[in-house]
Amino acid sequence: MGADGFRLLEAVHAADAPGWLREIPAVVVLRTVWIKQYHRTVNDGGQEVAWREDKDLPPSRQRICSPYDTDARYATKRGCGWEGYQVHLTETCDDATETGLPHLVTNMATTDATVTDVERTEQIHTGLNRRNLLPHEHIVDAGYTSAELMVGARRDFGITLVGPLRIDNSPQARTGGGFDRTAFTIDRDNQRVTCPQGVQNTIWSTGSERGRESIVVGFPITSCQPCPARPRCTRSTRAGRQLMLRPRDIHDAVERARTEHTTDERKQRYAIRAGVEATIHQAVAVTGIRRSRYTGLPKTRLAHVFAATAINLIRLDAWWTGTPLDRPRTSHLARLDLGLAA
Ligand code: SF4
């Protein structure tokens, strides 16, 4: 930190610092950045200011990553890090010959970079609903799905949310041959669960896990401890196996979605989702949304709406004038073939 910055920090923190000094917007931002990046230690010999260690830093969602744009946040995805925002794009994908319209962008949802995809699904549906643009079916990638969202989308918006659900990540499912949830026989009406060794549960209690309703099922330690199959079932040596179940409607939705997603018909239907990648490419290449031209979330959001409008105008113009949107491509092999023929 420079000497001027340090002196200003001292002045702001001084007990007799005037209130107006702390309220100047630039001082508020700098003070927030400093507090989140540095810590000050006061001792007999004076005071010391040092960088916070990684473990002491607040989470990315709360950390201002640039004093020039206090809405921007730092995030990483698949090993790639960036500062700023992210945009979630929705477009129509019906058969254009039936609708008489090209595929058009219907929603741009802009958030700071730390908001996960799954946190946006419901807001995207709310936005589409407000503009009477809800689809019957919303095809999304795995990042936007969860069993709760599938049930909620159907219940609240009449939408079928189509997308792969995340795989069971329990240790038993990850290790081949382990007893995951599917190895147990579940009788919800009688709150009875039978394990692969024929033992029945002694605990059935409802609660919540990370804000989601769940049921905890427990098996008796007296049966689990001497059980020959224990290595495949639980790592605990002091307690019996515990199993986490979802409420019935959520459980059924998961089972249905997983079964449907393996059918050829659903795989074919789902393949259409890849089309949005071309739209993202168009947005990046034509409207330059990879870099925000503005600071602040509201202006960036507006810029993304302008980008969507531009894409739609280009597509409508191409549709009405019969202009192909993409130039015909010839593969390297085909070009070589043509070269040899000449
Ligand atoms: S460890 Fe317990 S729950 Fe697991 S198979 Fe054995 S008896 Fe059943």
pLDDT band at 49 (very low <50, low <70, confident <90, very high): confident
How much of the chain, in percent, has pLDDT values that exceed 70?
92
Q: What is the pLDDT of residue 3?
A: 53
Mutate to test the pocket of ligand 1, among 219, 232, 237 (most ligand atoms within 8 A of CB): 219
Mutate to test the pocket of ligand 1, among 230, 234, 238, 242 (most ligand atoms within 8 A of CB): 230
Q: What are phi and psi of 88, to 5 degrees?
A: -110, 125
H or E stretch at 333: helix 332-341
Q: What's the pTM value of the predicted model, to 2 decimals?
A: 0.76
Q: What is the pLDDT of residue 195?
A: 95
| 298-332 confidence digits (pLDDT tens) | 999 999 999 999 999 999 999 999 887 766 667 77
Q: How many angstroms is it from 229 CA to the middle of ligand 1? A: 6
| 199-236 confidence digits (pLDDT tens) | 999 999 988 777 778 899 999 999 999 999 999 999 88
CB-CB neighbours of 157 under 10 Å = 17
State whether the beta carbon of 181 lies less than 6 angstroms from ligand 1.
no
- Measured distance CA(46)–CA(121) in Å, rounded: 52
Mean pLDDT in the chain?
87
State whether the beta carbon of 18 lies less than 6 angstroms from ligand 1.
no
Domains of the chain: 3-57 (no CATH), 73-165+261-321 (3.30.420), 171-247 (no CATH)
Q: How many angstroms is it from 250 CA to the middle of ligand 1? A: 25
State whether the beta carbon of 279 lies less than 6 angstroms from ligand 1.
no
